[in-house]
Amino acid sequence: MKVLDGGLEGASVLVTGGGSGIGLGCALRFARDGAHVTICGRSEERLLGAVEQLRAAATGDVTIAHVVADVTDEAQIAAAVATAVRPTGTLDGVVACAGGSETLGPITSMDTDAWRRTIDLNITGTMLTIKHAAAVMARAGSGSIVGISSIASSNVHPWFGAYGPGKAGIDHVCQVAAIELGASNVRVNSIRPGLVDTDLVGFITAGGEVLDDYMACMPIARVGTVDDIAAMARFLVGPESTWLTGQAINVDGGHSLTRGPSYRAILEPLYGADALRGIV
């Protein structure tokens, strides 16, 4: 990786889940810093729109590429890594951002198949990304991988189903990888975002009791931006953090100092008060 004035000029970076939200925000930050950027996700339409934004933002003569890939499919994530390697012959940074949840509600009403899909997307998807990216990095003797976790990993969010356990699994997989890969000078960390303004949480950021509760839990009481998370991802991938590995870093306005938010105002009308305390 050629580094000029703390930039990422000439680096090659892969961002999973890079078609929107935090993933796209991270990809834009890398492109502006002069990196070759490959994004992957399940929607080609979304990826194509993201590629247009990335090319408009990119600095220098860089390659912007996309791969349609489901991170739970090993062959597809291996293909995404191979595409990201092409511009330089190696891979300098990865942000494993693909994740999400199909579960929101009481555990006694949980859809078991939705639980399994959510766990698979978050934990297995991150593991497969690390598996294939780290193999390239270890051969080169350098690289940085960043998992995108959540404050729901460190602070219990009632009625969040598989999301919190899935994000906690991301943190743990990243820490295991950090220990194993340190001998090859490959660093692995994770970021735990708080409430960030993306389309997925528009029903919260639009206002109401749940947003009010989030604000009450934050010492710096504002909704985060994708740029807040991208700045930390950029730091962790860049040359400024070469002695930092195995860390799960909260970027959340201090929310992790208090408690998880309450979604009662949204869920009680859907499930009823009894269901929220486990009666089915």
Active site residues: 163
Q: Strand, coil or helix: what is 110?
A: coil
Distance, CA of 247 to CA of 5 (rounded, Å): 25
Per-residue CA distances from 188 to 197, 236, 255 (Å): 25, 9, 23
CB-based contact 155:262 (threshold 8 Å): no
Nearest to 71 by CA among 51, 103, 101, 99: 99
Give the DSSP letter string of 219-266.
Answer: SS-S-B-HHHHHHHHHHHHSGGGTT--S-EEEESTTGGGS-PPP-HHH
Per-residue CA distances from 97 to 47, 106, 141, 192, 222 (Å): 14, 26, 23, 11, 22
Q: Strand, coil or helix: what is 187?
A: strand
